[in-house]
Amino acid sequence: MKFVCDETLTAGSLELDRNGSLEDSLLAQELLDFPFISKVYITANFVAIQKTDVVDWEMVADDLKAIVDKHLKDGTIVMRAQSQDPLTMYAEMTPNPAVMKFVTNKLLFDGMAEAKSIDEATQIPVAEALFSFPYVKEVFVADNYISITKVADADWNEIALELRYFLLEFIQADKKLVEDNFVPIHRNTENPYVKESFTDIEVEIKNIIAEYIQPAVAGDGGNIELIEFDESSKTAKMLLQGACSGCPSSTITLKNGIETMLKEMLPGRIESVEAING
As a whole number of angstroms, the distance between CA 227 and CA 235 comes to: 11
As a whole number of angstroms, the distance between CA 92 and CA 255 comes to: 25
Closest CA to 124 of 148, 150, 159, 92: 148
As a whole number of angstroms, the distance between CA 167 and CA 89 comes to: 9
As a whole number of angstroms, the distance between CA 54 and CA 52 comes to: 6
Contact 108, 144 (CB under 8 A): yes
pLDDT of 260 reads 84
Domain boundaries, the chain: 2-83, 89-172, 200-277
Q: Could you tell me the sign of the dihedral formed by the alpha carbons of 112, 118, 123, 124, in that order? A: positive
As a whole number of angstroms, the distance between CA 223 and CA 214 comes to: 6
For 37-68, what is each residue's pLDDT tens digit?
Answer: 999 999 888 899 999 888 889 888 998 999 99
Q: How far is CA 207 from CA 186, 193, 203, 225, in A?
A: 22, 17, 6, 10
Q: Which CATH architecture has domain 2-83?
A: 2-Layer Sandwich (3.30)
pLDDT of 16 reads 87
For 121-132, what is each residue's pLDDT tens digit?
Answer: 999 999 999 999
Fold held by 89-172: Ribosomal Protein S8; Chain: A, domain 1 (3.30.1370)
Q: Confidence class of residue 14 from pLDDT cuts 50, 70 and 90?
A: confident
Of 69-83, 215-229, 247-261, which range is least confident? Answer: 247-261
Fold held by 200-277: GMP Synthetase; Chain A, domain 3 (3.30.300)
Which of the pair, 188 or 232, is modelled with greater confidence? 232
Position 270 pLDDT exceeds 70? yes
Closest CA to 44 of 165, 150, 200: 165
Q: What is the pTM of this model?
A: 0.52
The proportion of the chain whose per-residue pLDDT surpasses 90, expressed as a percent, equals 29
pLDDT of 190 reads 44
